[in-house]
């Protein structure tokens, strides 16, 4: 059903200097990025430690991703006009909002308001329940889940598997002490690598439940429209077009796992063979290649990659 997918990264993809290449070269990018409610020099010059904070990172990633997509849509207009039925979009965690923007579920202004509110709610939840996230690489997800269960035997300790990214990459989230213990156990049980993530809290874990409740109230303020492209949601990895269901899954996404691997596999099963990462970095490109090396994956992480990707899009043929 879908031949090409645009995928949008979430928090952790931020880096100092992100978006500068589009800000310098495209007027529509400047207009979007200038909408941020803080000094954009933070994006271009740092400091890194401040940019990593949820209240700065999330709106910045959303704005940069939306700016890149807007550029692509302008310069590849003929492709979008002819191929709407071939296009699917999906975003990883925060990236789900960029994906919804691209599918015209809401406009940029409303999307930025929602993302700012979401980052505020998450920051509040982190202040109450601080924690960390870590990637466990090279272990089967069943083993990772068992490690989390073992660490969490004490009901006051949270350690949960929250991002199922690929067959051998699972992200865990929870209290600092619990994640440290789980990382130690994962190494003992054969993990090839463990990496603490460049994020400021225990995202997608039950420690975020207060933020999820606040999102339920916040989303009532906004009118959503049916997506013009197919969109697969993180919460259940399923194709979703009903507006009420989209809102419900955004609420649940805050304190539930991201089913990324299954979403990508479901999309591949419809016939999708090209993936284009829209946003800072190339993390999702790497993950998709680990899921299925036969698929063609492109990114927009710098000016050259953006221009090459636009050429690929303009030369797209339904195959």
Residue numbers annotated as active site: 93, 204
| Beta strand pairing call for 169-174 and 274-277 | unpaired
CA dihedral of residues 179, 184, 186, 189 (deg, nearest 10): -160
249 backbone dihedrals φ, ψ, rounded to 5°: -70, -30
| Beta strand pairing call for 193-196 and 274-277 | unpaired
Helices 54-75, 95-102: axis angle to 10 degrees equals: 30
DSSP string for residues in 219-276: GGGS-----SSEEB-TTT--B---HHHHHHHHHHHTTS-B-HHHHHHHHHTTT--EEE
Q: Count the Cβ atoms, other than its own, within 10 Å of residue 256.
A: 20
Helices 108-128, 54-75: axis angle to 10 degrees equals: 160
């Amino acid at each position: 059903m879908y031949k090409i997918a645009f995928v949008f990264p979430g928090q952790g993809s931020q880096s100092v200097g992100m978006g500068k290449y589009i800000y310098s070269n495209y007027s529509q990018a400047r207009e979007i990025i200038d909408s941020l409610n803080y000094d954009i020099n933070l994006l271009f010059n740092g400091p890194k430690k401040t940019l990593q904070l949820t209240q700065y990172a999330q709106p910045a990633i959303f704005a940069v991703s939306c700016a890149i997509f807007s550029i692509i849509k302008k310069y590849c207009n003929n492709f979008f006009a002819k191929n709407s039925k071939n296009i699917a979009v999906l975003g990883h965690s925060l990236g789900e909002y960029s994906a919804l923007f691209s599918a015209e579920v809401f406009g940029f202004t409303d999307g930025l308001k929602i993302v700012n509110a979401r980052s505020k709610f998450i920051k509040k939840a982190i202040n109450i329940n601080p924690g960390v996230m870590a990637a466990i690489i090279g272990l089967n997800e069943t083993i990772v889940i068992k490690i989390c269960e073992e660490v969490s035997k004490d009901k006051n300790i949270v350690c949960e598997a929250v991002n199922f990214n690929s067959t051998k990459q699972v992200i865990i989230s929870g209290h600092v002490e619990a994640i440290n213990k789980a990382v130690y156990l994962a190494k003992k049980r054969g993990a090839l690598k463990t990496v603490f993530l460049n994020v400021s809290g225990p995202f997608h874990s039950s420690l975020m439940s207060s933020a999820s409740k606040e999102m339920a109230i916040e989303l009532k303020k906004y009118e959503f429209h049916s997506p013009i492209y197919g969109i697969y949601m993180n919460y259940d990895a399923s194709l979703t077009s009903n507006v009420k269901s989209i809102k419900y899954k955004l609420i649940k996404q805050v304190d539930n796992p991201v089913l990324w691997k299954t979403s990508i596999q479901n999309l591949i099963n419809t016939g999708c063979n090209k993936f284009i990462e829209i946003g800072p970095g190339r993390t999702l490109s790497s993950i998709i290649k680990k899921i299925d090396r036969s698929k063609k994956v492109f990114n927009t992480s710098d000016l050259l990659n953006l221009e090459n990707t636009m050429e690929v899009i303009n030369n797209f043929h339904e195959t």
